[in-house]
Amino acid sequence: MTEGRILAIDFGKKRIGLAITIPELNIPQPLQTIDIKNLWEELEKVFFQYNIETVIVGLPLRTDDTETEFTLLTKKFAEELGSKFKVPVKLWDERFTTCEAESILKMIGKQPSRNKKEIDKLAAFVILEEYLENLPD
């Protein structure tokens, strides 16, 4: 059996971006973007295919650390996700991850305005990268 992976999610109103760890290396890789209308069916496929053992969900906060209405929706999603798939779900501050994702796209010569789906999965990649960098050794 393959070692379980960590899945990171950049939760959005229209789409969610996904990134996963590469087995044995514990480094992140962008995975895909899922349309919100197919959310649970597509997540089920990802959980089955990649043996997900932990999920990191990006938590949107204001720059002053206060929550928004979308923060509460994200927390509700994370709670539902954990109970549906029976895995630990951790919330991770996602401030500025979209900006970082847009910078990555610009560096490779793509326009962020034309690549929204790429931004979503790259934002999930940034969330996962930051989470892994902050794990205790």
pLDDT at 62 over 90: no
The pTM score is: 0.87
User: Which is higher by pLDDT, 62 or 20?
Assistant: 20
Under 8 Å between Cβ of 131 and 56: yes
Half-sphere exposure of 52 (CA within 13 A, CB side): 26
Alpha-carbon span 96 to 131, nearest angstrom: 14
- The enclosing domain of 123 has a CATH number of 3.30.420.140
The percentage of residues in the chain with a pLDDT greater than 90, rounded to a whole number, is 61
**C-alpha angle 27/100/3, rounded to 5°?**
15
The total of structural domains in the chain comes to 1
Residue range(s) defining the domain that contains residue 116: 5-133
The percentage of residues in the chain with a pLDDT greater than 70, rounded to a whole number, is 93
Q: Which pLDDT score, from 0 to 100, does residue 63 have?
A: 86
Helices (H), 51-113: 69-85, 97-107
Task: Give pLDDT tens digits for 3-57.
Answer: 689 999 999 999 999 999 998 888 999 999 999 999 999 999 999 999 999 999 9
| Bridge partners for 28 per DSSP | 21
pLDDT at 1 over 50: no
pLDDT at 108 over 90: no
Q: Which pLDDT score, from 0 to 100, does residue 107 have?
A: 73
